[in-house]
A and B are shown apart, each in its own frame.
Chain A
Amino acid sequence: MHPTLELKALDEATEKIDAIARNFNLDFYDMYFEICPADIIYSFGAYGMPTRFSHWTFGKAYHKMKTQYDYNLSRIYEMVINSDPCYAFLLEGNSLVQNKMVIAHVLAHNDFFKNNHYFKRTTKKMVESMSTAANRIREYEFKYGRDRVESFLDSAIAVQEHVDPQHHISAVAKKTEGHEEHGCSVGKCSHGQCSNKHSQGASPSPYDDLWDLDQKECAGKCGGGEQREKKFPRQPEKDLLLFMMEHARDLEEWQRDILSIIREEMLYFWPQMQTKVMNEGWATYWHMRIIRELDLTGDEAVEFAKMHAGVIHPSRYTLNPYLLGLKIFEDIEKRWDNPSDEERAKFDRKGNEGKSKIFEVRESENDISFIRNYLTRELIDDLDLYLYKKVGHEWKVVDKDWEKVRDGLVRNLYNCGYPHIVVENGDFGKRGEIYLKHIHEGMDLDVFYLEKTLPHVFKIWGRPVHMETAVDGKEVLFSYNGEKVSKKFI
């Protein structure tokens, strides 16, 4: 089709889809669609954002995606960006039906970005922010040399996942904590006094016993030690990037800036990683329903069915988020539309609340709570989900029990699948060394990778680095002193 005719057809389709979506009560930002050639879409895919800074790791990802496309192994039909207005890039050469499905899909993503709670704090101007950050990095390259900047980026990227998306909450907590710590250091803190302080002003809440747990710990430490060590940081700090950015002594300004860029970008992407299953499930749920409202010819319907089937194709080795999310949303809708007698009696479900329930879920949950709360035994059996593991040289199915499968899924999603690591001590041995601790939740770290990552932390921190973790049930401390990695059992 001639490009201008194609645009016109697309324009008409979009108008219809937009109207149908609004009729379904989807609520989205203005849309900006752009048709791009494949290599452009793939470069956006690799960078996560068209305007992002330049680095060889993106080149590597781009190369991989492009090669798969060139060999016809995989195809990205679109790429959508959480911003206002919402940008979406359509693959040049998509057929009209493909584009219809993509547009419907994208509108639902857009609705999710706008309404899901976890996206509330993401900036809607990230396209511009990333672009200015990329410019700054390019300037640094001119000023300080490409190799220096690149190798510092290598190190920052190596620890980029270690941010704290809830930092705004702990930041508030820290302020209040400041007073309390002050009280402690004078040595007057006692259990009574502390809990007194918490209940002051606020009426007793059901969580008081939880607050008290903190206090006990505090009381134990304060009461027991006369020469109580000043802790730094006061509480274990999950935001490794922020901590190093603020406290590493020998960093230059441009290096702190790079850390802050990497951190901001990670915080921006975090909600997307945190809601992958929901977001894709939501978009898939809606593209199906919107397409059903369109008048497709027989051929178009077949083409759509093929493409849709490809999207929700299950995999033996990973969970397809499109399929899992879709099934859970459909199941919720069904159970709230037609609750069982038990559900009616126990949970006071009235029926015919399916639609409003799924809108509530899309607003308030993330993948972890979504799966924990709504992945039922019936669904797990129906979808034939399992956990598998390496046994000897073979990968084998090891768990079919529904609760174990659900909990295993949740565990893998925790912290977006990254190990939970905190800064225990920023002045270890009073030598300014950094002591990290892996909060072990039953999964060991990849020791080879650990040993290769410590030098990157060292590069940023500028002094020896320690990391406490457990390997095969034994507690181990890995250290890197600038020359070599050593390990010892604790």
Chain B
Amino acid sequence: MSGKYTISREDWSLHRKGEIDRERHREKVKEAIKKNLADVVSEESIILSDGRKVVKVPIRSLDEYHFRFDTGKRKHAGQGDGNSKEGDLLGSDQKKADGPGKSPGAGDEPGVDYYEAEITIDELAQLIFEDLGLPNLQQKKKPELASEAFEFKDVRKMGISSNIDRKRTIMEAMKRNALKGGIKGTYNITRDDLRFKTWDVTFKYESSAVVLAMMDTSGSMGPWEKYIARSFFFWMVRFLRTKYQNVQIVFLAHHVEARETTEEEFFTKGASGGTRCSSVYKLALEIIEERYSPQDYNIYAFHFSDGDNLSSDNERCVRYVNELLKICNLVGYGEIEGPYYHASTLRNAFKKLSDNNFTSIGIKDKSDVYPALKKFFHNRNESKA
């Protein structure tokens, strides 16, 4: 006897529910990240990502909360290979130190279950930069060098078949069919319907920017302070790259004397001794003079210190910063405030500066990096831009 059964194959191409809700989830992830930018911006896994394109951002607000047992406290059941015994080690949480999700058997291992969104650094940068603007954009002298660029902005009836414009071609076929009173949905595409995307050759002028990253490396600047500076410069450079084709960074470290260093040295090596900030400003001015003519370059100077400057030096600092302001698009000073209060002499001294292009920022905490970025790059002359 044979029962009743049916086998069929339907057209599912219009079933989009999964994709639609997936998109909604993605939107929520983005919203959550945006709300959380202050924490995300200085997330170590991103700043120290070593060029990885995709980073993981923990998002607790998208956990699906419900009443549940504490996985860490309860007993779970598992199955061995035949000779397991009490005390056998199945896994360890400490492995998480070298990157979440890397522990063996991740996925079915209990415990690690908060949601991590994967996001490319570019997407993240877009979110961060949404509110940032470049103040004081000056027209620099057009550099001699212009590069050829291709832009697809035209549509023609002839072309290479790899450049076919599907949407327009279908539209043409629909139009033609409709004119003839043709049946809906059946398009025999004729040669006449074909549309091709075509390019134009344009010239792109190189615009360049240079970031003068200055940092106090005196004894009081520990790894944490350097990390803060590092996350700030990380995003600053990325942001400027969205605006200029060519962004260079010059690293200047100083204690009593200033010198140019490599990036690695800049963020890792510490020196000791006192602090004389004017030394680094002086060096910055010299380097600009030598290499980066303000006519060709947009110059951004930013200095991190803990503010413990020799008081006798403050006067000179203000003078140099005033000079920098004449040639730079922006000059910033970030003071990393230690756990205990001390009246900073340098930041007070800078209060005299009234120039619109000077920003001074106090940073106490990892989460202050994002507000600092926002303050530094807020659109001062939006109306003009």
Binding site for B on A (CB under 8 A): 3, 7, 10-11, 14-15, 18-19, 22, 28, 30-37, 39-40, 42-43, 46-47, 50, 54-60, 62-63, 66, 85, 92, 157-162, 314-320, 323, 383-390, 393-400, 405, 408-409, 412, 417-419, 421, 438, 443-447, 449-450, 452-453, 456
Contact = CB atoms under 8 A, between A and B. Distances in A.
Given A19-B1, A159-B66, A446-B69, A389 B21 contact: no
Contacts of A438: 67
A319 B67 contact: no
11 contacts: A31-B3, A57-B25, A62-B22, A318-B77, A385-B79, A397-B85, A397-B86, A418-B66, A419-B67, A445-B68, A452-B63
B108 A384 contact: no
Contacts of A418: 66-68
B66 A158 contact: yes
Contact of A43 (B4, B18, B62, B77): B18
Q: Which of A62, A323, A405 has the most CB of B within 10 A?
A: A62
Contacts of B3: 18-19, 22, 28, 30-31
The 7 closest A-B pairs by CB, nearest first: A43-B18, A59-B21, A59-B25, A31-B5, A384-B80, A59-B22, A452-B65
A35 B10 CA distance: 7
Nearest to A44: B18
A118 B42 CA distance: 53
Interface string B81-107: 111111111111110000000000100
A33 B21 CA distance: 26
Contacts of A40: 12, 15, 18
B64 interface: yes
A397 B4 contact: no
Contacts of B72: 390
Contact of B65 (A18, A320, A453): A453
Given A32-B6, A34-B9, A39-B18, 14 more contacts: A3-B9, A31-B3, A47-B17, A317-B108, A319-B77, A385-B79, A386-B84, A388-B75, A389-B76, A393-B93, A396-B87, A397-B90, A408-B75, A419-B69
A235 B89 CA distance: 45
Contacts of B20: 54, 59
Contacts of A445: 67-70
Nearest to A400: B86
A35 B23 contact: no
A174 B42 CA distance: 58
B68 A14 contact: no
A59 B23 contact: yes
Contact of A384 (B67, B82, B92, B105): B82
A407 to B, nearest CB: 10
B12 A36 contact: yes
B4 A409 contact: no
Chain B contact patch, size range:
35 or more
B19 interface: yes
A62 B16 CA distance: 12
A406 B28 CA distance: 42
Contacts of A32: 5-6, 8
A315 B67 contact: no
A14 B65 contact: no
Contacts of B22: 59-60, 62-63, 66
A289 B65 CA distance: 42
Contacts, number: 246
B185 interface: no
A388 B105 CA distance: 15
A275 B238 CA distance: 54
Given A386-B78, A418-B67, A395 B109 contact: yes
Contacts of A315: 78-79, 108
B338 interface: no
B4 A449 contact: no
Contacts of B70: 443-447
B105 A398 contact: no
Q: Which of A11, A85, A449 has the most CB of B within 10 A?
A: A449
A39 B110 CA distance: 27
A318 B65 contact: no
Given A62-B18, A317-B110, A393 B85 contact: no
B342 interface: no
Contacts of A50: 15
Contacts of A43: 15, 17-19
Contacts of A35: 7-9
B92 A395 contact: yes
Contact of B68 (A7, A389, A446): A446
A386 B87 CA distance: 11
B2 interface: yes
A396 B89 contact: yes
B141 interface: no
Contact of B2 (A15, A314, A386): A15
A33 B7 contact: yes
B111 interface: yes
B84 A397 contact: yes
B78 A317 contact: yes
A55 B105 contact: no
A395 B90 contact: yes
A320 B105 CA distance: 15
A318 B85 contact: no
A394 B26 CA distance: 34
